[in-house]
C-alpha cells in the first residue's frame, strides 16, 4: 500500500469512503474514511459531523481521516481532531484510528501538517490502533494509555520531540511500534542515544514488533540494535526502507539476539550480495528484497531512504 494507494483495511476491517450525506456501512465489518478532494470547499470535520448523525455512528470501531481540506498546505487537522474528541461519548467503541491517509499526489508526506494529539488518549480509552502520517508540528503529549497495542508514525523525518514523547510514554499493552525515522533534510533531528529507552527493553513489556524504518542512520543504528536487550523480547525486527550498507548488515550478522528473531525485515537496502547471502542463512525469516544502488558523482556517494519528501 505505502503512500501510493489509499488504506484498504484498518486493523482487520475493510475501509470505504463515505460520500457527503452517505450512510454508514455495517460498523461490525467496515471502517469509514473521511476525505475531501482538492477542489472541495468541504472539510473532513464537516463530514464527521454528518457521520455522527447516522444511527450507526455509536457502533463505529474505527475511523480513517484522509485529506481534511482541499488545499492541505500549512493546515493541520485541528478542526477534525477537536470534533472527534468532542464526540468521544458518542463513539464508545472506537478502537482504531488513522489520521493522514493522504496520497503523495495530494501532499508530499513532508508537507503534511500534523497537530497535538494529547487529548486523544483520555478521550478514547479503548483505542488499540493508532496510525499517524506526517510529523510537522506533531505532538503526542502525555502518552499514557492502558490499551494501545499498535502505534505507527509515517513521515520523512521524525522529530526528537516526538521520540521523547514515545520514550516517556506508558503503554503497557503495546505490541507493535513502527517509526519512520527519516532524514535530517525532512525533520529527523534525534539520535541513536535518544532511542536507547526503547532498545533497552525497559519500555513496552508486550512489544513483539519493532520497526525502525526509513532511517538515513541505518548503519549507525544497526550496532546499537544488534546489542539491544529488546531483541530478547521482540519477534520481528523491521529496519527496512533505509540506507543500510554492509556495515550495518555485518553488525546484525554478529548479533546473537538477531539470530533468535522470528523475522528480520531489511528490504530497500544498499548491501552487497555477499552480505545479503549471509543474512539469508540466519535462522529468522529474512527479507532483503529491493536492493538499491548508490548514486556516485566523483568522490560523492548518495544513498536515499525510501520515503523522504
Q: Residue 32: pLDDT band by 50, 70, 90 thresholds?
A: very high
Please give the average per-residue pLDDT across 220-244, as a whole number.
98
Please give the average per-residue pLDDT across 2-19, as a whole number.
88
Which three-class secondary structure string do you get for 29-77? CEEEEECCCCCCCCCHHHHHHHHHCCCCHHHCCEEEECCCCCCCCCCCC
Per-residue pLDDT tens for 187-210?
999 999 999 999 999 999 999 999
Q: What percent of the chain shows pLDDT beyond 70? A: 99
Q: What percent of the chain shows pLDDT beyond 90? A: 91
Q: Residue 1: pLDDT band by 50, 70, 90 thresholds?
A: very low
pLDDT at 180 over 90: yes
Q: Residue 2: pLDDT band by 50, 70, 90 thresholds?
A: low
The pairing of strands 263-265 and 300-302 is unpaired
C-alpha cell at 19: 460520500
pLDDT at 224 over 80: yes
Please give the average per-residue pLDDT across 207-214, as a whole number.
98
Please give the average per-residue pLDDT across 48-55, as a whole number.
94
Ranges of each domain in the chain: 9-235
Distances (CA, A) of 182 to 76, 130, 190, 284, 299: 21, 19, 10, 26, 24
* Mean per-residue pLDDT over the chain, rounded: 95
C-alpha cell at 229: 536487550
Range 9-235 classified under CATH 3.80.10.10? yes
C-alpha cell at 302: 548518495
Which three-class secondary structure string do you get for 219-271? HHHHHHHHCCHHHHCCCEEECCCCCCCHHHHHHHHCCHHHHCCCEEECCCECC
Please give the average per-residue pLDDT across 169-174, as a whole number.
98
Q: How far apart are CA 145 and CA 120, in angstroms?
A: 10
Q: Choose the weakest-confidence range: 10-14, 76-80, 114-118, 156-160.
A: 10-14
Q: Residue 41: pLDDT band by 50, 70, 90 thresholds?
A: confident
Distances (CA, A) of 227 to 39, 221, 242: 51, 10, 19
Q: Which residue has the higher pLDDT, 71 or 113?
A: 113
Distances (CA, A) of 259 to 204, 225, 262: 22, 12, 8
Q: CB–CB of 230/252 below 8 Å?
A: no
Kindly report the CA angle at 46 between 41 and 47, in degrees rounded to 5?
A: 100
Per-residue pLDDT tens for 83-110?
999 999 999 999 999 999 999 888 999 9
Per-residue pLDDT tens for 120-153?
999 999 999 999 999 999 999 999 999 999 999 9
Q: Which residues have a Cβ under 8 Å from the Cβ of 32 and sit 6 or more positions away?
A: 15, 16, 17, 18, 24, 25, 51, 60, 63, 64
Q: How far apart are CA 23 and CA 50, in angstroms?
A: 9
Task: Note the pTM of the prediction, 2 decimals.
Answer: 0.97
How many CB atoms are closer than 10 A to CB 17? 13
Amino acid at each position: 500500500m505505502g503512500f501510493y494507494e489509499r488504506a484498504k483495511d484498518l486493523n482487520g476491517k475493510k475501509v470505504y469512503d463515505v460520500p457527503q450525506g452517505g450512510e454508514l456501512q455495517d460498523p461490525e465489518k467496515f471502517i469509514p474514511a473521511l476525505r475531501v478532494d482538492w477542489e472541495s470547499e468541504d472539510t473532513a470535520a464537516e463530514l464527521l459531523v454528518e457521520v455522527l448523525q447516522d444511527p450507526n455512528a455509536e457502533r463505529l470501531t474505527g475511523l480513517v481521516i484522509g485529506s481534511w481540506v482541499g488545499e492541505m498546505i500549512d493546515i493541520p487537522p485541528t478542526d477534525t481532531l477537536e470534533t472527534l474528541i468532542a464526540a468521544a461519548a458518542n463513539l464508545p467503541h472506537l478502537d482504531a484510528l488513522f489520521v493522514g491517509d493522504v496520497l503523495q499526489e495530494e501532499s508530499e508526506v513532508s508537507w503534511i501538517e500534523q497537530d497535538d494529539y494529547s487529548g486523544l488518549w483520555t478521550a478514547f480509552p479503548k483505542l488499540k490502533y493508532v496510525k499517524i502520517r506526517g510529523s510537522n508540528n506533531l505532538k503526542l503529549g502525555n502518552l499514557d494509555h492502558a490499551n494501545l497495542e499498535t502505534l505507527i508514525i509515517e513521515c520523512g523525518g521524525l522529530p526528537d520531540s516526538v521520540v521523547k514523547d514515545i520514550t516517556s510514554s506508558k503503554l503497557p499493552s503495546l505490541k507493535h511500534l513502527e517509526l519512520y525515522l527519516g532524514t535530517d533534510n525532512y525533520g529527523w533531528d534525534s539520535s541513536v542515544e535518544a532511542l536507547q529507552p526503547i532498545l533497552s527493553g525497559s519500555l513496552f513489556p508486550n512489544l513483539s514488533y519493532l520497526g525502525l524504518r526509513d532511517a538515513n542512520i541505518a548503519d549507525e543504528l544497526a550496532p546499537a540494535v544488534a546489542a539491544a536487550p529488546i531483541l530478547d523480547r521482540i519477534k520481528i525486527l523491521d529496519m527496512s526502507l533505509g540506507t543500510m550498507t554492509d556495515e550495518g548488515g555485518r553488525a546484525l550478522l554478529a548479533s546473537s539476539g538477531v539470530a533468535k528473531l522470528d523475522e528480520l525485515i531489511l528490504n530497500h537496502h544498499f548491501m552487497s550480495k555477499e552480505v545479503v547471502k549471509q543474512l539469508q542463512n540466519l535462522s529468522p525469516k529474512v527479507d532483503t528484497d529491493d536492493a538499491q544502488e548508490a548514486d556516485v558523482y566523483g568522490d560523492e556517494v548518495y544513498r536515499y531512504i525510501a520515503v523522504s519528501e
